[in-house]
Each structure stands twice: as C-alpha cells, then as structure tokens.
Structure 1
Amino acid sequence: MEAIPARNPRRWLILVVLCLSTLVLVVDSMVLTVAVPTIAEDLGASAQDLQWILESYMLVFAGLLLTAGSLSDRFGRRKMMIIGLALFGAASVIAMLATSPEQLVVGRSLMGVGGALVMPSTLSILITVFDEAERPKAIAVWSAVAMVGLVGGPVLGGALLAQFWWGVVFLINIPIAILAIVAAMVLMPESKGPWRKADPVGMVLSVIGMAALVWTINELPKGGLGHQSTRISLAVTVVSLIAFGVLEVRSKSPMVPLALFRDKVFTGASFSLVLLTLANGGLMLVLTQYLQFVLGYTPTETGLAFTPLAVATLLFNAVGASLVAKTGSRVMAVLGLLVIASGFALLANMTTDSGWTVLAGAMVLMGTGAGLTMPAAMGAMMGAIPDEHAGVGSALNDTIQQAGAALGVAILGAVLSSTFTGHMPADAPNAARHSVGDAVAVATRTGDGGLLAATHRAFTDAMSASFLVGAAGVVGAAILAAFLMKGKEAPAVGTGSETGTAGPLATDAALPVH
C-alpha cells in the first residue's frame, strides 16, 4: 500500500507569510482612500489626476493577474511572490517620494505589477501546501486577515495622517514587504507546474482585455455609452476577450485552462462568488457615503464603524471552516449566502433615523454569512484546480473577483445615483441633484435645512434600492451554489507532501474558482 505523504510541518508558518503578503496589498489599497484629499492638496492634483492615481493600480493589477498566475506556474510560485513583493516595496518608495501626480501614478502602476505577481502566488501556494482537510481552515485565516486589512486600513490611515505626511501610507508597505520576503526565503518551499509552452499571444490578449474591461466598467457610470472613449474601450474589451477565449480553447497548451469550467463545483463556486463580490463591491461605496454624509462621521470614524463586520467575519470564519467537513461545502455556502442576503435586506429597510445600531446589526449578519460562505466556497473552488494549474487557477479566481467587485461598484453606484436624482425635490438646485456630496455641500453653504433633510431622505431611499439589488445578487448566488456545488467534499483526512504538493489535488481533480 502506498504511503500517505506527510503534511508540510511548516505549513502554518508558511500561512503567516502568505497572510503578510496579502495584508500589505489590502492595507495599501484601503489606506490610500483616506489620503486622497491630502495628496490632492499637497501635489496640486486635479480630479483627473486623482482618478489616475486611484485607477492606475487597479488597471495594471487586473490586466496582469492571469499572466502573473501563468508565470508563477511556469517559473515557480515562491519566486514570483518574492519578485512581486520586492517590486511592490520598491514602487512604494517611488510613490512615497513623489513630488508630482505623474510620479505618483508611475509608482502606483509599478505597485500594480508587484501586486499582480503576489496575489495569485499566495492562494496557489496555500492550496498546494494545505491538503483538502485543512484547506478551509487555512482559507478562513487568509480571508480573515484580508478583512482586517480592509477595515483596519482606513483607521490606520487616519491615525497616521493625523501625525505624519501623506507619504507614510506608502512607507508602511516597505517593512511588511521585507519581512514577508525574508520569511518566504527561509520557510517556504518552491512549487511549480510542469513545463509548458509559452502563450505570448494569450498573455497580450488577456492583459488588454482585462485592463479594458475594468476601465470600461469604471467609466460607464460617468457618462454611459455616450462617450466615444467608453465605446472604444468596450469594443476593445469584447474583441480581446473573445479572441482570448477562442485562442485558449483551441490551444494545446493554453495559458488559462478554460476546461476548468466543465467542473460544476468549480463553476458553481466561482459564479456564486462573482455575484457575492458584485453585491459587496458596492457595499463599502454606499455605506461610506451614508456614514459620512447622512450620519456625519469622519473618515476615521467611518473605518471604525465597520468593526462589527470585521469581528463577525473573523469569528464565523473559524466556525465555517470547522463545519465544512461535517455539513459539506454546498450547505455551508448556501446557508452563509442566505444570511448575507438577510443583512442586505435589513440595510434596505434603513431610514434616516435608523442610525448606527441597525447598521451594526446588518453588518454582523453580513460578517456572519461571509464567515460561513468563504471557506466553503473558496475551498471547493480551489480544490477543483489541478496542481499544475494552481497559479493561473488562483489568478482566474482573483480576476473574476476583481471584475465582479468593479461591476458591483458600477451597478450599485448607477442605481444609487439614478435613484437619488429621482427622489430629490424638483425645485432643488441642479448642482445638488446628482451627488449626495454636492447636495450636502450646497445645503451647508446656503444654510438650507430643508434641502439637507431632503438630501438625506433621497440618499436613504437610493441606498435602499441599491441594497435590494445587492440582496437579489446574493440570493442568485445561493441558488447557483445549491444547484451546481454538488460533488466531492473535503475528506476527513488529507495528504500533502513535504514539497507542498497535495496528492489528490493533482490526481483527482484533473480537469473538469470566486
């Protein structure tokens, strides 16, 4: 009888390195949102400059994810992660020392390259180091750390900006990146897939298609398809991604194995998570405006207000991971998604008088649901990816989520904007009819209490409409999970080799993510 390979004895220390690598990316993204006003003032950045400062990272990151995942499978996942961390840290120095908006855009773009190299490697290393029995727990820890960064980023940023200059939001990346690099070199085994023929055309098409997709999604709410630049970017998106899909299906050695979608578990988990990220993508956007413009919170207080969401997610991540082996991935994913939908429903019933207590209750529900859902859905999805495609499979998961989150911001943002305009009084000044921020500014400047009250009511009504759309998306995700996530469940015990390659992952999951 063939001996079962021992689990990697350093796997939990390796998880710490992966969490550090993820944390630096998440914290940086969230901290920057707090620093934008100060950056605009100190660098003399225009609105267009600020757009490029914020979006340059996202465009490069989303565009390079699939290519980075493929490179990590080809040349080594640890190697790509270390290179990405080094580049991210060096680019943070450029951003920190920037004296003009253009220099900051260059720094942010290079940070996007580094982030794209790091992100797929973290999850692909995780699924090769941890076997199917322990993978839900590892994913729970990994996603919990990301949640801490998501909520803690603005709080940390507000505290640092109160004492230092805006460059400190990039300075904090450097020691974390250095620590993660050293730990990776000492603790982490290298893993890679079998050598495959390069797919340069696929790489180019994926970069162009994904970058154009994110750009189009970001631009659509600003002027619809009325702008020629938006129509051009949409055409580039469609042509590039269709060409990419055709090429990958026909290729004998595809960069992205689209055959993964033949596996119903992979498809059900991935598209359920797409709908979930779509719904959650607009959550922070809408609630941040509600807290600041309706309840009058400062940016730091806004970050602290999301604490119930973070705490509930942390607690129920552990619960969800422990229950997966008993109930199965499908049951936990569906249950968690329905709990999240109930949180959206509670948010949709908020009024101008509801205040933070009702909001905290809704966030606890959503954090509970996320904690139950994520280990189950991500564990099932990543377990369907063969070992040789771990890097690009992880990148496919990240890419789908990026697109879902961006689409969520666009859709919920469009619903919010149009509903807000429709609920504003007909006699309201034109400058106050399209944005809650502009409306509050006009009301404050003119001392018009009636306009301010009407603005709050209109925004709350618009927020309710947005959250109903979010609830519908999450219910749709639950339905997909219920019908498609049928298949093998995580075994009671698993395997994992000293080199970090999980046995069943490479053999049982041969081809058919989030």
Structure 2
Amino acid sequence: MRSHALRTFVVTGIALFMVTLDNLIVTNALPAIRADLGTGLEGLEWTVNAYTLTFAVLLLPAAAVADRHGRRRLFMIGLALFTLASAAAALAPGIGVLIAARAVQGVGGAILAPLTLTLLAHAVPPARRAAALAAWSVMSGLGVALGPVVGGAVTEYATWEWIFWINVPAGLLVLALAPRFLTESRGPAQRLDPIGTVLVTLGLLGVVLGLVRGNEHGWTSAQVLLPAVAGLALLVAFVVHEARTPHPMLPLSLFRSRGFSVLNLISLAMSFGMFGVTFVLIQFLQMIGHMSPLEAGVRTLPWTAMPLLVAPLTAPLASRLGTRTVITLALLFQAGGLAWLAAYIAPTFDYADLVPGFVLAGTGMGLFFAPVTRLVLSSAPAAQTGVASGISNISRQLGTVLGVAVLGAIFSATGDMTTPHHFATGVTTVLWTAVAILTAAAITALAIPRNPAPAAQSPSQPAPASTTPSPQLPSPESVTTT
C-alpha cells in the first residue's frame, strides 16, 4: 500500500506542479510576448485571463464528470489536453492562437487540479492522509513560488515559447506512468448542470471582454457595451437558473450562511487586489526597473515564497487570536504591503526600498488561505464541504480574472507603457486601488461570525458531487493558492 501511495504521489505531484506553475509562469514572459507577437495590453490580459477563466468555471463540472466516468480516465484526458495546449501555445504564430491555447490549458488544469488530491487520498490509508495533504500542499506552494522564477529563467536563457514547451515532456511522462501507477475510482453519480456551466462561462466572458476593451474602444461604444450588458444578463440568467434547477452546479442555499458569503466575498477581493497587481508590477520591474526576466522573478521571491514560510504559523495564531482576527490581519498586511510599494514606485527606484512591501504582502497571503479554508468548510453542511471549498477556490480564481481586467483598465486610463513617468503613474494608481479593495475586505472580514453555523441544505436539492474522497481530508480546491 505504501509503494502504491508513493507511485500515486509521483504522478499527481508532477501534474499538480505543472498546473500551479502555469498560474504565474507566464507573468515574467509577458514583456517578451508583447514584443515578439506585437500585441498590446489587451492581448496580455487575455493571455493571463484565458487560462484563469476556464479554470475557474470548469472546476466543479469537471469534478462531477470525473466522479461519474472515472477519476483516472478524466485525469489522463485533462493531462492530455493540458500537454497538447502547452505545445499549441509554444507554436502560436500570433496572440489569438496563444490566447486560445491558454484557454484549453485552463480546461485541462480544471480537470487535473481537483483530481490530483482525490486520487492521492484514495491511495493513502486514512491514518496517513494528513501527511499526504501536507506533501500535496508543498507541491502546490512550490509551483506558485517558483512560477515567476522559472518563467524568468526560461525566458532569459531560451525564449518565451519554452515556458510552454517544458510542460510537454513532463506531461508525456505522466501520461505514460498514469495507467500503471493510478487506480481507477469513482464517486457518487450526480446530475450535471450543462446549462448553468454555459451561462456562467459566456456571462463572465462578456463582462471581462467589456472591461478589457473599454479604454481602447470607449466605454460607451457598442464593442464594449454589447458584450458587457449581454454578459451581465447571462449572469442574472445563471442565478435564476441555479435557484430553480434541482441539480445546480452552484447551490445558492450555501449563501444563506453569512460566514460563507462573507468568506467568498473577501476571497474574491483578495485575489482581485493581489494578483491583479502582479500583472502590471512584473512588467514595470522589467521595463522600467531594467531587470531581466530571471532577475524580476528572483526579486519577487520575498512576495511569492513568503506564504510557504508563513503558512505553518496560521494554526497557532488562529488558536491564540481567533481565526477571524488572523484573516483580518492577513488582509491588512496585504494592504500595507501594497501601500508600501505604492509609496516607493517611481520612474527611478531602489529595489531595496520595495523589499519590505513584498515581505508584508507575502506574509498576508501566507496567513490568509488556511484560516479561510477552515471557516469555509465549517460554514457548509458536511454533505456539501466539497462543493463549498470548490466555490471558495472559484471565488479566488474569478477575483484574479476581474483584478487583471479592472486594474488593467485603470492602468490604461491613468498611464501607459510609453515613458517611465506614465508607467509609474499607472502602476501607482493600480496599487492604491488594490489597497482600497483589500482594506475594505479587511473591514468586511469583521462580519465573519465567531462560530459560523453551516447553512441549512435545502431538502429539494441533493448534495452536488463532492470533490473530497473523505471527510477527513478537505477538497483540493480548499488549499489551492491561486
């Protein structure tokens, strides 16, 4: 059994590392992509958001399909999609093909991410599942922390295409090992919600399209208003559909819990502020700070690697101060870190002045995820903890999508990439906007109940397919950091 668990960890760990690495690996390659493919800010935004958007909206449907048709089978399909899309991204002759390939990568990632932990938990005896979760979390954290560094190193010493090519041999290796190393398993067969999936996907696409194109085409132009209004209408239709269908992908009954609603709102706000800022800040460090891609990746490690160091402190701090207090402090640390950066960002700056801001922001991120996860799970009925943690991760992913779109629009409205002064002005405005969002989230966090009660499950709505194999082990979405 132990050797089987180890083989499962090897396969799922490599796949998880690939998926989490691709969340941030593209950030340090964006200036090179912009120069090579001749695109503008809108194309770069979609290079990031195409991956995150499909990843977010397909997490829950993918887990339900895997429970019905076989987790190992879906794992291999997701891995094949991810690998093929990586090759397509590397071969992209233009920005449109790159964006399409990134969207398919997100589909593969949405299938893989939940299944890496589900398959691992199925292979590990209950007594060893805590250790399995710790190892899984380390792989996820390493992927996030090393994403900018790996992306910077590959872009600097090869070309930006190789940030995608490196997925291909790893993907082929895992595809060869999976049939022998993984055991097939299934979960309770649940009805799917294809109408809800289509409505939310097209709705978010329309809203984000409007936000991204607003500054270029004018906020009152048909090219902006039509997709934005259509997107909002589809999102309203999605909510109405979810309230009426007996098998929703997003059970609205969970939001009857004040704690659950507030936690998802502040998770969205946190990702909006932190990851939306990353999009413009990395480009500023390279283009105005004259850092190489690798140098920019290494110099942001005080930010991206800090969560790995701080995460072990969350449990003792929560037991001493209370979970709500730790979450509030985490958001204030993040707001303080970005405020520090905003104060020192200028056309000419000293990197040493930015380090305290990076450390503060990274510390806040490290203190945020685990306490939020625990409260999300305690705010949901036991039968719905899997879908509840999935919704929590979707909130964070959608926060990233909206952060890149909205903060990108604010950057375009207040600055541009033509001169150091204009670039610094735009980045500073973006940072102060994110500070305001994170501060508001910290204040909102005070509304989290001290002892959140789970929302009552509607008797007319059966529990959706859970992505957790055991109540002793939280779902994978609950500990994914980005």
TM-score (norm 1): 0.75
Distance 1:11 1:501, change over 3 A: farther
Q: Is 1:308–1:364's contact at 8 Å kept on the other side of the alignment? A: yes
2:262 equivalent to 1:268: yes
User: Which of 5, 14, 38 lines up with 1:20 in the alignment?
Assistant: 14
Residue 484 of structure 1 aligns with which residue?
A: 448
Q: CA deviation at 1:360?
A: 0.6
Q: Is 1:123–1:394's contact at 8 Å kept on the other side of the alignment? A: no
Residue 495 of structure 1 aligns with which residue?
A: none
Distance 1:487 1:108, change over 3 A: same
Unaligned runs of 5+ in 1: 1-7, 421-434, 441-454, 490-498, 507-512
Cα distance in 1 for partners of 2:206, 2:127 equals 39
Residue 359 of structure 2 aligns with which residue?
A: 364
Cα distance in 2 for partners of 1:131, 1:418 equals 55
Amino acid of the structure 1 residue aligned with 2:267:
L
Measured against aligned partners, the alpha-carbon deviations of 1:379-401 in whole angstroms (never above 9, x if no partner) come to 32245455665664444333322
Measured against aligned partners, the alpha-carbon deviations of 1:48-80 in whole angstroms (never above 9, x if no partner) come to 877765554445444434432443454455543
User: Which of 382, 389, 396 lines up with 1:401 in the alignment?
Assistant: 396
Say which SS state the counterpart of residue 225 (structure 1) adopts. coil
Amino acid of the structure 2 residue aligned with 1:176:
A
Cα distance in 2 for partners of 1:39, 1:341 equals 30
Measured against aligned partners, the alpha-carbon deviations of 1:193-245 in whole angstroms (never above 9, x if no partner) come to 53333333223222322332333333334445223122121122112111111
Cα distance in 2 for partners of 1:85, 1:118 equals 7
Distance 1:411 1:137, change over 3 A: farther
Cα distance in 1 for partners of 2:173, 2:121 equals 22
Bigger shift: residues 234-243 or 202-211: 202-211
Aligned pair count reads 461
Residue 439 of structure 1 aligns with which residue?
A: 419
1:492-503 → structure 2 map (5 Å cutoff): 500-502=469-471
Residue 469 of structure 1 aligns with which residue?
A: 433
Residue 166 of structure 2 aligns with which residue?
A: 172
Distance 1:225 1:313, change over 3 A: same
Q: CA deviation at 1:164?
A: 3.7
Distance 1:210 1:397, change over 3 A: farther
Q: Is 1:128–1:390's contact at 8 Å kept on the other side of the alignment? A: no
Cα distance in 1 for partners of 2:152, 2:121 equals 35
User: Which of 329, 341, 346 lines up with 2:340 in the alignment?
Assistant: 346
1:66-465 → structure 2 map (5 Å cutoff): 66-77=60-71, 79-98=73-92, 104-122=98-116, 145-146=139-140, 148-178=142-172, 193-325=187-319, 327-350=321-344, 352=346, 355-385=350-380, 389=384, 392-420=387-415, 435=416, 437-440=417-420, 455=421, 459-465=423-429
Amino acid of the structure 2 residue aligned with 1:357:
A
Q: CA deviation at 1:362?
A: 0.9
Unaligned runs of 5+ in 2: 454-467, 476-480
Q: Is 2:15–2:116's contact at 8 Å kept on the other side of the alignment? A: yes
Measured against aligned partners, the alpha-carbon deviations of 1:157-212 in whole angstroms (never above 9, x if no partner) come to 34334444544222211243345557766676766553333333223222322332
Q: Is 1:340–1:370's contact at 8 Å kept on the other side of the alignment? A: yes
Cα distance in 1 for partners of 2:438, 2:352 equals 23
Q: CA deviation at 1:501?
A: 1.2
Q: CA deviation at 1:364?
A: 0.7
Cα distance in 2 for partners of 1:200, 1:272 equals 28
Bigger Rg, which one:
1
TM-score (norm 2): 0.79
Residue 464 of structure 2 aligns with which residue?
A: none
Distance 1:33 1:477, change over 3 A: closer
Amino acid of the structure 2 residue aligned with 1:360:
V
**What is the percent sequence identity of the aligned residues?**
32
Residue 465 of structure 2 aligns with which residue?
A: none
Cα distance in 2 for partners of 1:235, 1:368 equals 38
Say which SS state the counterpart of residue 250 (structure 2) adopts. coil
Cα distance in 2 for partners of 1:220, 1:136 equals 47
Q: Is 2:16–2:113's contact at 8 Å kept on the other side of the alignment? A: yes
Q: CA deviation at 1:257?
A: 1.2
Say which SS state the counterpart of residue 450 (structure 2) adopts. coil
Cα distance in 2 for partners of 1:486, 1:9 equals 43
Q: CA deviation at 1:113?
A: 2.0
Amino acid of the structure 2 residue aligned with 1:259:
S
Distance 1:381 1:54, change over 3 A: closer
Say which SS state the counterpart of residue 238 (structure 2) adopts. helix
